[in-house]
Amino acid sequence: MLIMLLQQIQRRHLALFLGVVLITALIYSPFLLSVSMIGFAVLFTFSWFWDKPGCLRFNPHFFDYFRIFFSSKVHLAITLSFFLVLLSGFLTEDYGYWMERLRLKIPFLVLPIIFCGLPVLSRREYFGLLYFLVFALVVTCLGIGINYVLHFEHINLLMKQGQPMPTPRNHIRFSLVLALGIVAGLYIWRSGYYLKYKWEQQVLIGSVGFLFFFIHLLSVRSGLATLYMAILVLIIRYVYLTGRYGVALLTTALLVTIPIMAYFTIPSFQSKVAYMRHEIWVQKNDQPDGEYSDAGRLASLKIGMEIGNESPLFGIGAGNLRQEVRNRYAVRYPKVSEPKMPHNQFVSVYAGMGITGLLLFVFAFFYPLVYQKNYRDPLFLAFHVIVLCSFMAENTIENSIGVAFYLFFLLLGLNYLKGSGFKLQT
């Protein structure tokens, strides 16, 4: 009995450690992202038996986990994103690109199965991972901020030219992680939870305030839009549960005021607005060719919709999408050196897999939220709002960072809600 208890404790601690590694990887390192994924697979496949020589053994519960997976509707629904790309291979001519898309989507098949074999997280363990996310972001943002101060003029000039403030990894994905970290910090603070000392609550809300300031300093529109929309949805939820319209109106007025204040007080925010105004002027006066940021996004959306509308039922095949986009850019925007794939996850799915694939994709996205009324949990709800808003402006899960970000926090939330019996928070 003691040996079995030690094995379970070790599996739990290893799962938490790999969660910490994956969160770190989302902020810093593609290498660590691969390490964490491999680590989860090893943890799923093997067990440690301290009472036997050569303690590493094939996990005796390996096939039990598959039975759990096949009995879990919500985890099966998540795998649809993998099977949609797999089945689109019947329409594919560019098998190299199709295989690249399929490899990217393998986590949608593997991670739901792996998480069915992980221990259900306690409240302390789940909040501990969220704690780590918040304070890892604080440390990272301090480093980014110091670099900004040291290269103040140069970075502001780059931002006026449409370049992002330097971040450890992709600035758009980093801003999404930052938005989630802010909401996660508020979630922990609102719950009244602390690891050991009550004064942690003051440190936590101060850290959230710093991150909220910093996301405005970073001035990535995707991150700001997703954060503000998530907060707005949580305000609506709060009003629905409590009927306190005065608090909601005051908070909403504050949210409207903050960007105005940021424009007059934060130089990087001013630089980003200046670039946006310049781009609007170019679009009105210079017939843009798709090279500018917003013009390029709109061009990619138009082309994506055209491709989807020409093959509305099943699309042209996920593997054919890149070449078709390039062909149309060559005709319409010959000066654009790097054609953009549709900057909208739903348009990308529609173009590649048609309305059939789009409906299945939408179902797979929303089903975990409505499953067993998981939308009652404010963080799980806010996470879906953040991802949904990012889908509207980016093809978020068409790279490894976006896939890892979406799947890890989705499956982590499902794991916790499965055993938490959480109380409805207002």
Residue pLDDT, tens place only, 273-295? 776 666 665 566 555 455 556 67
Query: Does 18 share its domain with 105?
Result: no
Q: Which residues pair with 47 in a beta bridge?
A: 57
Residue 262 lies in a domain: yes
pLDDT digits (tens, 9 = 90+) for 169-201: 888 999 999 999 999 999 999 999 888 889 999
Residue 103 lies in a domain: yes
Residue 256 lies in a domain: yes
Query: Does 55 share its domain with 74?
Result: no
Query: Does 8 share its domain with 126?
Result: no
Query: Does 246 share its domain with 374?
Result: yes
Separation of alpha carbons 425 and 188, rounded Å: 11
Predicted pLDDT at 1? 44
Residue 302 lies in a domain: no
Residue 189 lies in a domain: yes
Query: Does 15 share its domain with 95?
Result: no
Higher per-residue pLDDT: 133 or 247? 133
Residue 328 lies in a domain: no
What Rg value do the Cα atoms of the chain yield, rounded? Answer: 23
Checking if the pLDDT of 363 tops 90, the result is yes
Query: Does 48 share its domain with 180?
Result: no
Mean pLDDT score, 110-114: 95
Token pair, residue 8, equals 């379970």
Token pair, residue 388, equals 């949904």
Q: What single-letter amino acid sits at 379?
A: L
- Which residues span the domain enclosing 46? 1-60
Confidence band (pLDDT; 50, 70, 90) for 60? confident
Axis-axis angle for helices 171-191, 2-27 (nearest 10): 130
Predicted pLDDT at 283? 60
Q: Which residues in 394-417 are b (16+ Cβ under 10 Å) and which e? A: bbbbbebbbbbbbbbbbbbbbbbb
Mean pLDDT score, 255-265: 84
Average pLDDT taken over every residue of the chain: 87
Checking if the pLDDT of 3 tops 50, the result is no
Domain boundary among 41, 60, 79: 60
Query: Does 183 share its domain with 102?
Result: yes
Pairing of strands 56-58, 46-48: antiparallel
| Dihedral sign for Cα atoms in the order 385, 386, 387, 392 | positive
Residue 26 lies in a domain: yes
Query: Does 128 share its domain with 252?
Result: yes
Q: Which residues contact 191 (CB under 8 A, 6 or more apart)?
A: 127, 425
Q: Distance of CA 58 to CAs 185, 338, 400, Å?
A: 39, 47, 29
Nearest to 116 by CA among 374, 419, 425, 424: 419
The total number of structural domains in the chain stands at 2
Checking if the pLDDT of 334 tops 60, the result is yes
* φ and ψ of 57, to 5 deg: -135, 160
Query: Does 4 share its domain with 95?
Result: no
Residue with tokens 């190299």: 96
Query: Does 19 share its domain with 117?
Result: no
Residue 301 lies in a domain: no
Q: What single-letter amino acid sits at 286?
A: D
3-state secondary structure 239-305: HHHHCCHHHHHHHHHHHHHHHHHHHHHCHHHHHHHHHHHHHHHHHHHCCCCCCCHHHHHHHHHHHHH
Domain boundary among 31, 60, 89: 60
* φ and ψ of 47, to 5 deg: -130, 160
Separation of alpha carbons 423 and 334, rounded Å: 57
Mean pLDDT score, 402-407: 96
Separation of alpha carbons 398 and 321, rounded Å: 12
For residues 4 and 52, the answer to whether their CB atoms sit within 8 Å is no
Predicted pLDDT at 27? 94
Query: Does 51 share its domain with 177?
Result: no
Predicted pLDDT at 49? 57
Query: Does 169 share its domain with 227?
Result: yes
